[in-house]
Amino acid sequence: MSLFLFRPVVARWQMAPTEQQPEEQQMKALMFKGANLPIELVERPQPEPAPGELLVQLAAASMNHRDVWMMQGLYPGLMPDVIPGSCGAGWVEDRPVVINPNRGWGDNPDYPNQMTYRILGMPDHGTFAEYIAVAPDRLQDKPAHLTMAEAAALPLAGLTAYRALFTRARLRAGDKVLINGVGGGVALLACQFALAAGAEVFVTSSSAEKIDRAVALGASGGVDYREERWAGRFNREFGGVDVVVDSAGGDGFAELLKVCQPRARIVTYGGTHGKSTLSPQILFFKELEIYGSTMGNDDEFAAMVAFVAAKEIRPVIDAVYTLEQHAEAYERMRLGQQFGKIVFQIRPD
């Protein structure tokens, strides 16, 4: 009797090793869900850089008023499920960088293309996350003297202040400059930039503490803009100014004209207090120049970062939060009590 040994036959497909799909790398990010809805902290896949893009590991990001206006439904073109945040600093491998918030400025350096211009953080995903993918031309080397939090405070506020002062107002050493409403990111950096450029700086605020802190930074003095006819007291104490930088507009804008010397340059980059009524008599009698200013072009961003590096300017940090503390950070920005920039520290330096 013959014995047959049977061996099991296994199909080839059963023996082939299972192909392992690479695990999707996750990251923490804040997510805008819609107007009048709370910001959410989520875990989502890290961005996959498109061809030609670089992956930035973010160390810090800073807030701007637009982040709160988006939550309140006061910003145009809102889309749900977007990572907010216009300003950030971090690393591309071992290179420390700061991110240009501009997108689609266009070919004319004098003003942005109204059809294509947008700012990082809406509708494009922004910096309130652990990673972001950007084109190489959106990056500048971080000034060596700055921490990551300080560098993250620069992009949008620094760019706006730089264009307003140097491109639009044509600031010169020795000019007398009034910064209206000191305390926010742009106004405070405008104060620091003007001082670094050799101007004499004055400020207004509704807070005596903020005026005192601006004086400690180098400003020559200031007044409370809530005072009735504050311009008269300003002129008696300090005399007229050559340059005014304003983001408020509203009824107080007319008072700003009264502190101007003849041929003064007035730059406005916002209108948080609404529409203004002006006296044409003051305008033509003093031959005043009024300019609008919107953020800044890419060359101005590079020049701003170089200026900060050359002058070793340090942006003022008001408060530092983690992404988990986003509700506190948004509330502080909403209340408008900050002096300097509100920053998310995402990773240690």
Instruction: Tell me what pLDDT residue 19 has.
Output: 55
- Give strand pairing partners of 134: 54
- What is the pLDDT confidence band of residue 251, given thresholds at 50, 70 and 90? confident
What's the rounded mean pLDDT across residues 225-246?
96
Q: What percent of the chain has pLDDT over 90?
A: 87
203 close to 211: Cβ distance less than 8 angstroms: yes
- What is the pLDDT confidence band of residue 272, given thresholds at 50, 70 and 90? confident
What's the rounded mean pLDDT across residues 305-326?
99
The pLDDT of residue 76 is above 50: yes
Give me the domains of the chain, ranges plus CATH numbers.
26-154+315-345 (3.90.180.10), 159-292 (3.40.50.720)
Distance CA 221, CA 328 (A): 32
Distance CA 30, CA 36 (A): 15
Instruction: Tell me what pLDDT residue 20 has.
Output: 58
Distance CA 292, CA 273 (A): 16
Instruction: Tell me what pLDDT residue 2 has.
Output: 40
Distance CA 293, CA 278 (A): 19
Average pLDDT of every residue of the chain: 93
Higher-pLDDT residue of 274, 255: 255
Question: Out of 157-166, 204-213, 256-265, 277-286, which region has the weakest mean confidence (pLDDT)?
Answer: 277-286
Distance CA 254, CA 35 (A): 33
Higher-pLDDT residue of 300, 279: 300
Q: Which residue has the tokens 């206006």?
A: 69
Q: What is the DSSP string of 25-86?
A: PEEEEEEB-STTS--EEEEEEPP-PPTT-EEEEEEEEE--HHHHHHHTT-STT--SSB---S
The pLDDT of residue 23 is above 80: no
CA atoms within 13 A on the CB side of 194: 33
Q: Which residue has the tokens 């918030």?
A: 101
What's the rounded mean pLDDT across residues 285-305?
98
pLDDT digits (tens, 9 = 90+) for 320-343: 999 999 999 999 999 998 999 999
